[in-house]
Structure 1
Amino acid sequence: MGGDVIKPITYFQDMPIRKKIQIINILIILPSILFLTITLYNMTLNQVMERALRSSDHKLELITNTINTLFNNIENYSKLAIINKPYQSVLNSDGTDPQSLEDIQLMYVGLTSLVESSPYIDSVVIQSIQGNKTYYTNNLTNVTENNLSIYPGDQLITAKGSAVWIETFQSPFLVNAQHINLLAVGRRIINISNGIPLGYIYINMDESKLSKLYGNDEEGLQSKLMIINANGTIISSNDPGLLQTTLDTEKLQMIFSNDNSSQIFDNGKETTIISSKALSKKDWRIVYEVPSKALMKDQWKITLFILGYGALGLLFALVLSIVFSNWITKPIVRLSRAMMAVGNGKLDTRSPITSKDEVGQLAYKFNDMVGEIQGLMDTVNQEEKQKRSLELRLMYSQIKPHFLYNTLETIRSMALMTKAHDISKVVKALGDFYRMSLNKGQELIPVIQEKKHLESYLYIQTIRYSHIDYIIDFDSQIENCRIPNMLLQPLVENSIQHGLREKQTGALCEISGFIETKDGADVVCFVIKDNGKGMNEELLANIWHREQNQLDLSSFGIRNIQERIQLRYGPGYGISISSVIGSGVEVQLRIPLAFDKKGLPERSVKSS
């Protein structure tokens, strides 16, 4: 038994390589062709169905535009007719004077011209408001007041002169000696002189002519084109037997739930493509339905043709591509995944090195480069943290000693001149100021805390400079917003020291805060405005362009705040300054709106 198995294996091993490849290809191709046949058939089927859906949409779009244009033209004809002078004159007179007889003749000429103006206008009827006078084209017979009750006069009254479309009905009167299906548009005729209703005009359209407008389709498709109302009742169709019938509930649900698009409908017996679009008049829709099998009758032939000429080449290429691509690209895929991981911030990722070829050398250099970048990143991030810590310490140190001395001197003077109540207020303000300035080392604080900080500082300053007044107006929506500590006080201090201190009377510092939208995102905007002496353009430019060793304390404070903001939030935020000589300075500061205790995530070298 074992020898019987070994002999074929030995025989196969002894075969030439060419025959081995042929046998292996046959063993692989036979099951693969079946799989490929099914796959290609489904792919081609889906593509044909997609093309059919697009074709249905396009066809229906053209038909919809044509019908909308026709309906608009018919409405325009009716609009012109209701202001026709002979029509107005006849409906407004008793018909006994000679002029009325002449107008009646002109009316009939006008009605004939209206029918001849469009091949889709079948007939026209004009009825007086009392219903006792009726005028119509000569192709109508047996027109009575009772027959005309089929027209909805109450809807025309409600429409107040606008066009009212009337769904398909079988004419109670004779049209060219027979009863036919009509659609109509009606309007109320109003005296153009005094606005009194005079009558109604009805322009009738032959439904069979309308269906010919869109009813032609490719032979053998067995398609259905129809116009339906909101209830699904068919009011026009290329199949006369469908008139006044109602579509299936499932079809209606699909049509109205998928507005203006093509869908595949399968009721278990037949699969059809249904397209629908809304018409511009009333709540009518045009629907196009075609069996999918009519579109797919040549699909199998196409699939066999593709397989017959391409199966062998596709399978051979597939086998070779799988074998050689896996062998060649596996190291590259590993290197690519390592690069993606590094790009996502995982700097501890390394690519395995399995060879010394070009890919192996590239992986070696990549690992070496990532190691150097990781070391540099750690160094830079550490330096950034140290820089931020130093800047915050420097900001805290900007509480100038002379301010403390001046405040203490103020307290001493008040102790000599007044009772202890005012002194207590100043001392409390000073204590609150330093308590909120230090803030237990917290870098982010609520806006309401910064507001209290400003109030303490400005209260002390107004005691010192009695001619200075201030207004703080923050929107209540930003009170719990988180902002960096000591963000606004240096700007207010600059406003007082350089703008208001030397102003004799009427010195005012206004601080406001509110939410505004910038590039589609909400930001917090703070405005510090004074009415001091102001600055010219040269002084404004010097604030940003002075060398580091040339900065005075005010410029340094502004630059420091600008750098703190942009370091934390990015270059899209910060300070802008404007000024007019003699009118003061306005400083605007913008940062992102953040209510979380941690604020927005700090920008680091990795994410930048």
Structure 2
Amino acid sequence: MGKKLVVYLLVFIMIPLGIVAFIIQLKASNVVYDKTRDNLLQVLKQTRFGIENIVREADYLSLTILSDDYLQELIHFHTEKNYLDAERNKAKLFVSFDSLLHSKPYINSIAVSRGREIIFQYGDSVQVEDTRFHGTAEQLGGKVFWTPPYLLNQRYKQTSPKPVISLVRAINDLNAPRQIAVERVSVDESYLSNMYAGIHSWNGGGISIVDRTGKVVSSPNKDLLDADLSDQEYVRYLLQFEEGYFDARINGADSAVFHYRIEDTGWHVVEIVPKRELLSQLEVVKLFILIGMSLCALFGILFFIVQSKSVVKPLKRLTKEMAKVKSGNLNVHLEIRSKDEIGRVSYIFIDMVGQIQNLIEKVYKGQIREKEAELKALQAQINPHFLYNTLDSIRWMAVKRKAYDIGEQIEALSDLFRHTLNQGRETTTIGREIDHLKNYLLIQQNRFADKLSWDIEVDPTLMEEPVPTLLLQPLVENAIIHGIEPKIGSGTLRVSVFERLAGEIVLRVQDDGVGIGAGLIDEILKVEPEGHKGFALRNIADRLRLRYGSSSKLEVRSEPGQGACVELTIPRHRETGESE
């Protein structure tokens, strides 16, 4: 039952629970993973406003510059070599730029040039202009062109060159359709990268900005600036979309890629997060599922313990007692601790065993009464007076012929019959039982001569104690026939009657004959023996049990070759309900 309960607990609770937990964990992991990626994309897109603001401000600034009348005049003065008027216009432009650029710390420098010759510059100044992007700007005819990051070299200040990203565009003459100069607005790349670097808190990966060709425009890792990533599959993939996220394998590691596009420039802001970092967020979900599984397993174990204690163990005890009853032992000891179905079944079982015991007792007593009725019927068929008178006549005939030993035997036999019939009564006294025993031994003495000797000891205070008729004589007869007669040589018989404890009388018959084997003793004392072995002992035991109940006892002790001892124990002063 206990093993079945464990199997049922596993099959119907723990295994389904494990499968459900696995499915929940799988689904929850997917949901949490997607939700986490959605949140990360939204966090990344929070940088959009700052970056687009820099792009728009730089574009607005370039428009302001190229449409400024002082700048247009300055270019004409410089072209006509009118340097005095050009210097006046420069002074006016410096005043105007001071107020305009005061709130734009990301602007590194501004320059207006024709070829390598610088017409006007503000901020970090250089000696000659870098013209590598002028051709592209002139081809665009005044449209904005954003350069890759590069170092601002040949500056007047002897400091390390800074990486910048420049807005370059051609300046057209406002009065004639012709290009008159090239404008450069340089943005400090470090300022730009600092705007988004702080939002990345993952170990590994990082955020960078790539242009539409796959080159790195900005990155906190300066070694990546202007690096061409167009050969990377994940870069080629993300350039096809406005925004989103996807998984990719980058530099041998599984990663999640998040990106969005800056429309005015075609740049893509890209964040790479190692997948292991994202999955670590799922450990909390797994932990809660594990805790839930552990609690369910704990309650399952508690359920098994409670069921084992309240169902399995009581059923085992009940099964054990049923096995005893099946083997014929009706002495049931079953402790009932509950009033549930198991308890009710146990109550019914105990009640059933009690009824079986009562039924057996009734049938058993009925059989004993039937035997006693047969004995009484036999006694009634014999005319006691005729028997006594006949034996008495034979005795006197033996006396007249001086056969005194025959007369003595006949007198003993007459007394023996008189005690056996006992006027139809079932009880006598210990004194009369002893007298009857002496008569029986006298007759047996004539048969066995010197082979048999005996000794009788009786407590004088017990002589008038009432006992059932014919208790000692069958025991002595068994001792002579089965113990002393088969023995080689003479044998001694000892009979003793005494009070062992207050209210307990012991009648003991002991011999030094051949003894009884342990197996034969068990056969004699069986409730339903096979054959006729020990019939006298069982008959006496049955009579004592009917009269005294559990207060009586019959014990047989013997070893082969060591003699035998039979003890009857009965209560003293028990009312029999019959007169003596």
TM-score by length of 1: 0.44
User: Which is higher, the Rg of structure 1 or of structure 2?
Assistant: 2
